């Protein structure tokens, strides 16, 4: 993730620090969220397009802790989202825990994965199936987590090293050891193994698979709007919907602790994420599917809506924060391929090339003895195969460019060690160039626990999941299969632009109220993604209009954060004992 310096001193002035502006607006059960016009359940897709950012959670009204932050329906005041409600500070009641020890079956005979649901069940039947799932897996049960005695987090991490670039694996371990939070970012496989043994609702949707708070951010839509969405789909796969919300909730506890928050402060952020998710999902259940499909969150419109909701006094008080936020958003518009090219390339002997910076960036020519012309002929052939996975108009656009350089690049925390490349393509015209990133796609971390993917090509799996869950995806998002110059096994990749107005929150610099508003943004966004891909009506009926699920997930998150700290210590101990190699500071 590209980290940006953000101010984020309080929730009101910064929706997710410099990252996002807190969206605001009430929504009714029969409206596209935040639209000034009332619409019925027959709302058209066209009207939904006009309400993009207005559908976002009302995370920023007045202050994050005093008003309902999510797209709350007028008719459902009981579902008002997180920080606003008195009940959010409560933990799951003790008597409920008696029913939480039993693990529910992995799947129930209820609608799943959103496959032609409307053709098989009526709306009433879908809602009834969601409510019926509560009898087998009570909402309170989601608080439960009992680690298996045989669990081996370090062993799971080392199992991933077998398929990664050996020289880069120590860098991965070093980055994970920076803090329990960075460990958590790299431990998606560990948590997937743990989630398999937790109570399951039986209601499935397309999962992000690694929905921690750093995997959300802003980027450019094809319409050149700065939108907020999920940004990482390496682990995407269908699975129990609650797995994503559990990973998101635990990340807020872990990040809050890492930032020195009190238990009350990070619990508020955690509850904000879960309650916003639940109430938003209930809102989406009341909307036509086309209306849901067109929903998206535009940052700049959200900021404007929020500013308009403030009194003159509050607006003046937060003037400096607004100015900083607007400056960050303006800067994001400059973070495109051309800006990345200026940063990562240089003209050498009249030819532009990617600059080496071992071990983080190594040019392709320096990694093989193959003749340069032969190498690039082979790579251009691969790009032709990749172009066939794009829409026809985008293939025509890609044809305007020619591959001129390639380099291996280290990315992220959990991804370190997987093969990732940056490709420089030029159009033969000054200031017309493009940087693509090709990232290795292996089997999802969830595959051994949620089920095997329907796609044999792991790059296609990532792309399909991303298109399904994101409101807007990169126009160059596609996939290819290749093998090394020396032969060997084939590797699957997915490709996208390296940078296109990318803006990410600096989580480590967030203050409590800023994190609380950011949590609302993430909760709303995840709910919209799940509503697109799964049976939103059954899931919403299962969650209900009380805060029982919210508190159960918040309790789980705290328990799992404790486990994460023990796992972090186990990795540190293995490094200290010489059993695991780690390289820090890279």
Confidence at residue 453, expressed as pLDDT on a 0 to 100 scale: 96
Least confident of 41-45, 154-158, 274-278, 459-463: 41-45
CA–CA dist 177, 280 (Å, integer): 35
- Cβ neighbours for 25, distance < 8 A, ≥ 6 positions apart: 33, 34, 54, 55, 56, 58, 71, 305
Q: What is the DSSP letter of 437?
A: E
- 242, pLDDT greater than 70: yes
Q: Is 352 found in the same domain as 314?
A: no
- 177, pLDDT greater than 80: yes
Confidence at residue 102, expressed as pLDDT on a 0 to 100 scale: 42
Per-residue pLDDT band at 24 (split at 50, 70, 90): very low
Closest CA to 291 of 79, 465, 50, 542: 50
- 37, pLDDT greater than 50: no
Query: Tens digits of per-residue pLDDT, 376-393?
Result: 888 888 999 999 999 999
Closest CA to 557 of 278, 139, 243: 243
More confident residue, 178 or 163: 178
CA–CA dist 57, 31 (Å, integer): 14
Closest CA to 539 of 321, 310, 241, 331: 241
Number of H helices, E strands in the chain: 20, 13
441 within 8 A of 455, measured Cβ to Cβ: no
Most confidently modeled range among 343-347, 367-371, 485-489, 523-527: 523-527
Q: State residue 494 phi and psi, 5-degree precision.
A: -120, 150
Q: Is 277 found in the same domain as 210?
A: yes
Q: Is there a domain that residue 8 lies in? A: no
> Of 436, 471, 497, which closes a domain?
497
Per-residue pLDDT band at 369 (split at 50, 70, 90): low
Q: Is there a domain that residue 103 lies in? A: yes
Q: Is 485 found in the same domain as 341?
A: yes
Classify strands 297-298 and 237-240 as parallel, antiparallel or unpaired. unpaired
Q: What is the dihedral of CA 369, 371, 373, 377, to 10 degrees?
A: -60
415 within 8 A of 189, measured Cβ to Cβ: no
Q: Is there a domain that residue 165 lies in? A: no
- 34, pLDDT greater than 50: no
- 396, pLDDT greater than 70: yes
Confidence at residue 56, expressed as pLDDT on a 0 to 100 scale: 57
Q: Is 572 found in the same domain as 450?
A: no
Q: Is 422 found in the same domain as 543?
A: no
- Cβ neighbours for 406, distance < 8 A, ≥ 6 positions apart: 354, 363, 364, 379, 421, 422, 423, 424
- 22, pLDDT greater than 60: no
More confident residue, 170 or 350: 170
CA–CA dist 444, 279 (Å, integer): 29
Peptide bond into 359 cis (omega under 30): yes
Q: Is 531 found in the same domain as 391?
A: no
Count the neighbouring beta carbons within 10 Å of the beta carbon of residue 323: 12
Structural domain including 450 reads 337-497
Confidence at residue 350, expressed as pLDDT on a 0 to 100 scale: 85
Q: Is there a domain that residue 20 lies in? A: no
Per-residue pLDDT band at 315 (split at 50, 70, 90): confident
Confidence at residue 165, expressed as pLDDT on a 0 to 100 scale: 87
Q: What is the DSSP letter of 287?
A: S
Q: Is there a domain that residue 473 lies in? A: yes
CA–CA dist 528, 548 (Å, integer): 21
Q: Is 372 found in the same domain as 298?
A: no
More confident residue, 537 or 66: 537
Q: Is 401 found in the same domain as 361?
A: yes
Q: Is 278 found in the same domain as 393?
A: no
Average pLDDT over residues 484-490: 73
Count the neighbouring beta carbons within 10 Å of the beta carbon of residue 485: 15
First to last CA, the chain: 15
CA–CA dist 367, 485 (Å, integer): 10
More confident residue, 412 or 102: 412
Q: Is there a domain that residue 77 lies in? A: yes
Confidence at residue 193, expressed as pLDDT on a 0 to 100 scale: 97
Instruction: Give burial (CB, 10 Å; 0-12/13-18/19+) of 158.
Output: middle
Confidence at residue 268, expressed as pLDDT on a 0 to 100 scale: 98
Total domain count, the chain:
2
Query: Tens digits of per-residue pLDDT, 403-428?
Result: 999 998 887 776 787 888 999 999 98
Least confident of 152-161, 287-296, 509-518: 509-518
Query: Tens digits of per-residue pLDDT, 181-221?
Result: 999 999 999 999 999 999 999 999 999 999 999 999 988 88
Count the neighbouring beta carbons within 10 Å of the beta carbon of residue 395: 15
Q: Is 561 found in the same domain as 413?
A: no
Q: How far is CA 496 from CA 180, 231, 491, in A?
A: 30, 12, 17
> Of 427, 462, 497, which closes a domain?
497
> Of 449, 476, 497, which closes a domain?
497
Number of residues in the chain: 586
Q: b/e per residue, 263-298, with b = 16+ CB within 10 A?
A: eebbbbbbbbbbbbbbbbbbbbbbbbbebbebbbbb
Query: Tens digits of per-residue pLDDT, 217-238?
Result: 988 887 778 899 999 999 999 9
Computed over every residue of the chain, the mean pLDDT equals 81
Confidence at residue 117, expressed as pLDDT on a 0 to 100 scale: 54
Q: What is the dihedral of CA 202, 205, 210, 215, to 10 degrees?
A: -140
Q: Is 415 found in the same domain as 268?
A: no
Average pLDDT over residues 493-501: 86
Long-range contacts of 174-177 (CB under 8 A, 24+ apart): 174/582, 174/583, 174/584, 174/585, 174/586, 175/413, 175/416, 175/586, 176/413, 176/414, 176/568, 176/571, 177/568, 177/571, 177/572, 177/575, 177/582, 177/584
Reported as half-sphere exposure (CB side, CA atoms, 13 A), residue 134 has a value of 16
CA–CA dist 286, 541 (Å, integer): 11
Q: Is 380 found in the same domain as 250?
A: no
More confident residue, 150 or 339: 150
More confident residue, 541 or 412: 541
Measured in whole angstroms, the distance separating CA 133 from the mean position of its chain's CA atoms is 27
Q: Is there a domain that residue 29 lies in? A: no
More confident residue, 5 or 227: 227
Q: Is there a domain that residue 325 lies in? A: yes
């Amino acid at each position: 993730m590209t980290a940006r310096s953000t101010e984020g001193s309080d929730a009101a002035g910064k929706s997710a620090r410099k990252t996002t502006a807190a969206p605001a607006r009430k929504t009714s059960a029969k409206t596209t969220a935040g639209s000034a016009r009332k619409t019925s359940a027959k709302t058209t897709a066209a009207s939904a397009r006009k309400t993009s950012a207005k559908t976002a959670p009302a995370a920023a009204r007045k202050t994050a802790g005093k008003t309902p932050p999510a797209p709350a329906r007028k008719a459902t005041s009981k579902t008002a989202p997180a920080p606003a409600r008195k009940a959010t500070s409560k933990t799951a009641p003790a008597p409920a825990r008696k029913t939480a020890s039993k693990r529910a079956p992995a799947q129930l005979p209820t609608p799943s994965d959103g496959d032609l649901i409307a053709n098989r069940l009526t709306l009433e039947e879908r809602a009834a199936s969601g409510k019926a799932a509560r009898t087998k897996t009570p909402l309170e049960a989601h608080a439960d987590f009992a680690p298996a005695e045989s669990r081996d987090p370090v062993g799971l991490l080392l199992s991933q090293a077998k398929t990664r670039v050996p020289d880069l694996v120590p860098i991965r371990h070093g980055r994970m050891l920076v803090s329990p939070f960075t460990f958590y970012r790299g431990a998606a496989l560990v948590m997937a193994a743990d989630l398999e043994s937790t109570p399951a609702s039986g209601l499935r949707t397309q999962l992000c698979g690694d929905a921690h708070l750093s995997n959300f951010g802003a980027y450019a839509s094809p319409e050149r709007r700065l939108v907020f969405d999920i940004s990482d789909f390496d682990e995407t796969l269908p699975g129990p919907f609650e797995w994503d919300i559990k990973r998101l909730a635990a990340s807020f506890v872990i990040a809050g602790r890492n930032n020195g928050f009190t238990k009350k402060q990070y619990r508020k952020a955690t509850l904000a994420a879960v309650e916003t998710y639940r109430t938003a999902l209930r809102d989406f259940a009341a909307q036509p599917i086309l209306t849901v499909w067109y929903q998206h969150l535009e940052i700049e419109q959200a900021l404007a809506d929020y500013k308009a909701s403030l009194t003159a006094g509050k607006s003046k008080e937060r003037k400096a924060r607004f100015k900083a936020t607007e400056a960050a958003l303006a800067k994001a518009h400059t973070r495109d391929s051309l800006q990345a090219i200026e940063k990562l390339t240089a003209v050498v002997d009249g030819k532009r090339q990617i600059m080496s910076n071992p071990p983080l960036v190594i040019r392709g020519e320096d990694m093989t003895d193959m003749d340069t012309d032969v190498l690039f002929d082979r790579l251009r052939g691969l790009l032709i195969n990749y172009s066939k996975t794009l829409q026809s108009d985008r293939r025509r656009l890609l044809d305007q460019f020619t591959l001129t350089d390639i380099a291996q690049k280290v990315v992220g925390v959990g991804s370190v060690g997987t093969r990732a490349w940056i490709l420089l393509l030029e159009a033969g015209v000054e200031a017309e160039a493009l940087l693509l990133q090709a990232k290795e796609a292996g089997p999802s971390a969830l595959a051994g626990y949620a089920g095997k993917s329907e796609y044999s090509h792991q790059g296609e799996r990532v792309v399909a999941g991303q298109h399904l869950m994101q409101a807007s995806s990169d126009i160059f998002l596609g996939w290819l299969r290749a093998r090394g110059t020396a032969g060997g096994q084939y590797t699957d990749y997915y490709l996208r632009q390296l940078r296109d107005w990318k803006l990410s929150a600096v989580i480590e610099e967030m203050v409590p109220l800023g994190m609380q508003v950011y949590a609302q943004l993430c909760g709303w966004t995840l709910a919209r993604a799940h509503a697109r891909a799964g049976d939103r009506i059954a899931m919403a009926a299962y969650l209900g209009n009380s805060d029982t699920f919210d508190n159960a997930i918040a309790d789980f998150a705290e328990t799992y954060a404790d486990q994460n700290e023990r796992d972090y210590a186990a990795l540190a101990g293995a490094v200290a004992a010489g059993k695991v190699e780690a390289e820090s500071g890279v």
